[in-house]
Structure 1
Amino acid sequence: MENLLTNIENINGAVNGFVWGLPMLILLVGTGILMTVLTRVFQISHFKHWVKNTIGGIFKDKHVTAHTDKDDMQISQFQSLCTALAATIGTGNIAGVAAAIVSGGPGAIFWMWIVAFFGMMTNFSENVLGIYYRRRNERDEWCGGAMYYLKDGLGSKKGCAFIGAFLAVMFSVFCVIASFGIGNMSQINSISVNMNSAFGVPNVVTGVTLMVLAGLVIVGGLKRIASVTERLVPFMAVIYLIGAIVVVVMNIDQAGAVFTSIIKGAFGMRAVGGGIVGSGIAYAMQWGMKRGVFSNEAGLGSSVMVHSSSNVREPVVQGMWGIFEVFADTIVVCTLTAFAVLSSGLVNLDTGEVISDQVSTALVAEAFSTIFGKFGSAFIAIAILFFAFSTVLGWSQYGSKGFEYLFGTKAVKLYQCLFVFFILVGSTMDLSLAWDLSDTFNGMMAIPNLIGVVTLSGTVMKITQNYVDRKIKGKDVKPMLSAIEEIQKVHEEEIAI
Structure 2
Amino acid sequence: MEAALLTFVQTVNSYLSNYVLIILLIGTGLFFTIKTRFVQVRCFGEGLKGVFGNFSLNGGKHKSGMSSFQALATAIAAQVGTGNIVGACGAILIGGPGAIFWMWVIAFLGMATNYAEAVLAQKTRRVDADGTVHGGPVYYIRTAFKGKFGKFLAGFFAIAIVLALGIMGCMVQSNSIASTCNTAFGIPTWIMGLIIVIAGGFIFLGGVSRIASVTEKMVPIMAVIYLIGGIGVLIVNASEVPAAFALIFECAFNPQASVGGVTFGLIAALSQGAKRGLFSNEAGMGSTPHAHAMANVKNPHEQGVVAIVAVFVDTFVVVTITALTCIVTLYVGDGLLAQGLYDSVDKTNMAQIAFGSLFGTAGGNIFVAVCLLFFAFSTIISWNLFAKINIEYLFGKKAVPVFSCIALVFIFIGSLLANDLVWELADMFNQLMVLPNAIALIALGGAVSMCAKTRGQKMEFADKKAESADAE
TM-score greater than 0.5 by the shorter chain: yes
- How much has 1:399 moved relative to structure 2? 0.6
Provide the residue aligned with 2:131 in structure 1.
Answer: 140
Residue equivalent to 1:213:
199
Q: Residue 208 of structure 1: CA displacement?
A: 1.4
Could you say what secondary structure the match of 1:344 adopts? helix
Counterpart in the other structure of 1:312: 297
2:33 to 33, 36, 39: 36
Asked if the contact 1:80–1:309 (Cα under 8 Å) also holds between the matched residues in 2, the reply is: yes
CA-CA distance at 1:275 after TM superposition: 3.0
- More off after superposition, 45-54 vs 384-393: 45-54
- Find 1:238's aligned residue among 224, 230, 241: 224
Q: 1:354 to 1:315 in 2, by over 3 A?
A: farther
Aligned residue type for 1:276: L
SS at match of 2:187: coil
Structure 1 residues 318 and 182, CA gap change in structure 2 (3 angstroms):
farther
Of 411, 416, 426, the match for 1:423: 411
Task: State the distance in 1 between where 2:301 and 2:373 align.
Answer: 34
Partner of 1:118: 109
Q: Are 1:362 and 2:349 counterparts? A: yes
Partner of 1:57: 53
**Pair 1:149-2:135 in alignment:** no
Partner of residue 170, structure 1: 156
Alignment of 1:14-93 (within 5 A): 14-54=11-51, 56-58=52-54, 66-69=59-62, 72-93=63-84
* Cα distance, 1:370 vs structure 2: 1.2
1:185 maps to 171
Do the aligned residues in 2 keep the contact of 1:342 with 1:349 (CA within 8 Å)?
no
1:223 matched to 2:209: yes
2:119, 2:301 within 8 Å by CA — same for their partners in 1?
yes
Distance 1:420 1:104 in 2: 33
Quick one: structure 1 residues 463 and 103, their matched pair in 2 at CA, closer, same or farther if it must change by over 3 Å? same
Query: Counterpart in 1 of 2:258?
Result: none
Distance 2:159 2:129 in 1: 22
TM superposition shift of 1:181: 3.5
Relative to structure 1, the CA distance from residue 426 to residue 261 in structure 2 (aligned partners, 3 Å threshold; closer, same or farther) is closer
Looking at structure 2, the residues matched to 430 and 260 of structure 1 have their Cα atoms a distance apart, in angstroms, of: 35
| CA spacing shift, 1:182–1:325, aligned 2, 3 Å | farther
SS class of match (2:222): helix
Deviates more, 1:251-260 or 1:7-16: 7-16
Q: In structure 2, do the counterparts of structure 1 residues 314 and 326 end up closer, same or farther at CA, with 3 Å as the change threshold?
A: same
How far apart, in 2, do the equivalents of 1:232 and 1:203 lie?
23
SS at match of 1:299: coil
Following superposition, the deviation at residue 360 of structure 1 comes to 0.9
Measure, in 2, the Cα distance between the counterparts of 1:139 and 1:417: 25
Does the aligned pair in 1 maintain the 2:25–2:284 contact within 8 Å?
A: yes
Aligned to 2:95: 104
Work out whether residues 44 and 308 of structure 2, in 8 Å CA contact, stay in contact via their aligned partners in 1.
no
Distance 1:404 1:195 in 2: 34
Contact 1:98 1:360 in 2 (8 A): yes
| Distance in 1 between residues matched to 2:377 and 2:185, nearest whole Å | 17
Q: Is the 8 A contact 2:61 2:209 kept in 1?
A: no
Is the partner of 1:381 in helix, strand or coil? helix
Q: Deviations over 1:364-421 (max 9, x none)?
A: 1111111110201111111121111111101101110110110112322222222223
1:421 alignment partner AA: V
Look up the match of 1:492: none
8 Å Cα contact 2:22-2:271 kept in structure 1: no
Q: Tell whether the 8 Å contact from 1:58 to 1:65 is kept in structure 2 after alignment.
A: no
Q: Which runs of 5+ in 2 are unaligned?
A: 256-263
1:331 corresponds in structure 2 to: 316
1:67 match: secondary structure: coil
Distance 1:267 1:435, change over 3 A: closer
Match of 1:475 in 2: none
Which amino acid letter does the alignment assign opposite residue 83 of structure 1?
A: T
More moved, 263-272 vs 352-361: 352-361
Counterpart of 2:248 (choices 262, 266, 276) is 262
Partner-residue secondary structure (3-state), 2:329: coil
For the 8 Å contact 1:346–1:367, the answer to whether it is kept is no
Cα distance change on mapping 1:355 and 1:216 into 2, 3 Å:
same
Deviation of the 1:431 alpha carbon? 5.8
Contact 2:165 2:387 in 1 (8 A): yes
State the distance in 1 between where 2:368 and 2:96 align. Answer: 22
Shift, 1:262, TM fit? 2.2
Letter in 1 for 2:49: K
Distance 1:177 1:314, change over 3 A: same
SS at match of 1:360: coil
Given that residues 143 and 466 in structure 2 are in contact (C-alpha distance below 8 angstroms), is that contact kept between their aligned partners in structure 1? no
Structure 2 Cα separation of the partners of residues 175 and 242 of structure 1:
33
Distance 1:457 1:484, change over 3 A: closer
Identity, in percent, stands at 38
Task: Give 1:311 shift.
Answer: 0.9
Q: 1:124 to 1:271 in 2, by over 3 A?
A: farther
Query: What amino acid sits opposite 2:156 in the alignment?
Result: M
Gaps of 5+ in 1: 156-160, 471-477, 489-497
